[in-house]
Structure 1
Amino acid sequence: GAVPVTGLAAEAGLTIDNGIAVDAELRTSDPDIFAAGDCCSFPLAVYGGRRVRLEAWRNAQEHGALAARNMLGAGESHAAVPWFWSDQYGLTLQVSGLPDQGSKVVRRDLDDGAFILFHLAEDGRLVAASGIGPGNSVGRDIRLAEMLIAKRAKPAPEALGSQTIKLKSLLAA
């Protein structure tokens, strides 16, 4: 997955752009051919159509199902927010969204030394959240941040950093 295998696609005349280039429905430059997973780059609507290639199991799983539905005529666009996790020396790292899209970072400390960094764009929109802690200590909050990112929410930085304000309450705002 780290290096996309695109030889066959290139030989078939498909457009290559950091992987096999697909549209939001995972259709290649040949409308009868779809590509999914680590081998393809695709536009992310939540980031203004920025083209990305994601090397994560959840993306591959979601792409496979979406490509199958679209081959059957569903006409659905990719709408998922990127997410991945990794275990590192007894800690679990989880990231939702694209942190490089943020220009400001707000930290929220959790129990057991865990913390989350919320990445905000210039306009205040939450574009990513990255957290690390023992076990699944950041999992719930990262999932809530993922939902806020999908909603293109602009939560107050003070609320994101506060340990007393529940992230779930920001979804209703």
Structure 2
Amino acid sequence: LLLAGGGRIDADLVVVGIGAVPNSELARAAGLMIDNGIAVDERLCTSDPDILAAGDCCSFPLSHYGGRRVRLEAWRNAQDQGARAAANLICAGEHIASVPWFWSDQYELTLQISGLAEGTAATVRRDLEEGAFILFHLDGEGRLIAASGIGPGNAVARDIRLAEMLIAAGAKPDPQALASPDIRLKKLLAA
């Protein structure tokens, strides 16, 4: 590879992840506000309160992250937002309150991530059976903001789901409890 600065990198294989560009041309032509996609509020309303947007094409504020505006390219987000937008069209007034969640199968391993790790001040590792593990990401105040785990099959699924619930609750779990596979996350959630 020849780099823009003149450097060179020898490689046998290159994997390039360039992201995705949201299709917002129609929204832009309609005069709607664009901010890394169609900008919506917590009820999925665009800058025109009579027009809602949902899914991969829109960016929205996440209350669990101080109102930070994000755009999520995941099927669960699109499904949840589609249902919420439909409810809001009939004046339900439902707000976006979900925690981001992603998964990917990589050969015999499954990767699951809950939350957004940006702003991590400390990371705690919990080792599970079969070589699986979870990394819990805490902010500077000790609040759990994300969890990422990898293992065979569904080895991390239950704990990632419980971590998602802890994130939604704004929990500040004891790091030693997070690290210990003997302490169930459900117990931390109940506390």
Matches within 5 A, 1:92-107: 92-107=110-125
Residue 80 of structure 1 deviates from its aligned partner by 0.3
Counterparts in 2 of 1:1-173, with a 5 A limit?
2-173=20-191
| Structure 2: gaps (5+ residues) | 1-18
Matched with 2:6 is none
Moved more, 45-54 or 99-108: 99-108
Q: Which amino acid aligns with 2:180?
A: S
- Structure number with greater CO (CA < 8 Å, separation at least 6) is 1
Please give the TM-score of this superposition, normalised by the length of structure 2.
0.89
Partners of 1:140 and 1:101 in 2: how far apart? 24
Q: What SS does structure 1 have at the residue aligned with 2:32?
A: coil
Residue-by-residue CA offset, 1:48-95 (whole Å, 9 max, x unaligned): 100000000000000000000001000111000000100012100000
- How many residue pairs match? The answer is 173
Higher helix share: 1
Q: Secondary structure at the match of 1:62?
A: helix
RMSD: 0.8
What one-letter code is carried by the residue in structure 2 that aligns with 1:113?
G
Q: CA deviation at 1:122?
A: 0.3
Cα distance in 2 for partners of 1:4, 1:74 equals: 27
**Structure 1 residue runs without a partner (length 5+):** none
Runs of 4+ that moved beyond 3 A: none
TM-score relative to the length of structure 1 = 0.98
Q: What is the one-letter code of the residue matched to 1:27?
A: C
Write the letter of the residue equivalent to 1:163: P
The percent of aligned pairs where both chains have the same amino acid is 72
Q: Distance in 2 between matches of 1:100 and 1:109?
A: 22
* 1:2 Cα offset (Å): 2.1
Q: Secondary structure at the match of 2:112?
A: strand
Q: Which amino acid aligns with 1:168?
A: K
Write the distance in 2 (CA, Å) between the matches of 1:84 and 1:101.
18
User: Could you say which structure has the larger radius of gyration?
Assistant: 2
* Deviations 1:81-115 (CA, angstroms, capped at 9, x unpaired): 00010001210000000011322100000000000
Question: CA–CA distance in 1 between the matches of 2:160 and 2:119?
Answer: 17
